[in-house]
Amino acid sequence: MSKAREFIDFWIENSVHAVEQYRTVGASQDVAELSRRLIDAAKEQGIPEADLEAEIGDISDYIAGQLEAANRAESERRKLT
């Protein structure tokens, strides 16, 4: 696994979360903001944006998909409680 892929997986796990119940203040759902934060964090680790794109393609599209999956999983979890 590449350094970029490891970083992406770690960052997504720690930074992309479902919107909180009752719309309380919590996880950002702004794809542009999250994309910028991922790129900035990667640069701080010496990982260029091009390496991120080589791993996941369009960064905004990837993050949007991760947000959708997190929100869907949270919605399903709430249905079970």
Domain coordinates in residue numbering, the chain = 3-15+28-80
- Give the model's confidence band at 75: pLDDT under 50 very low, under 70 low, under 90 confident, else very high: confident
Instruction: Count how many Cα atoms sit within 13 Å of the Cα of residue 15 in the half-sphere of its side chain.
Output: 20
Q: What's the rounded mean pLDDT across residues 5-14?
A: 96
- Whether pTM exceeds 0.75: yes
- pLDDT of 56 > 60? The answer is yes
Which one-letter DSSP state was computed for residue 27?
A: S
- Give the model's confidence band at 81: pLDDT under 50 very low, under 70 low, under 90 confident, else very high: low
Alpha-helix residue ranges (DSSP H) falling in the chain: 3-15, 31-44, 49-56, 59-80
Neighbour tally for 9: CB within 10 Å: 13
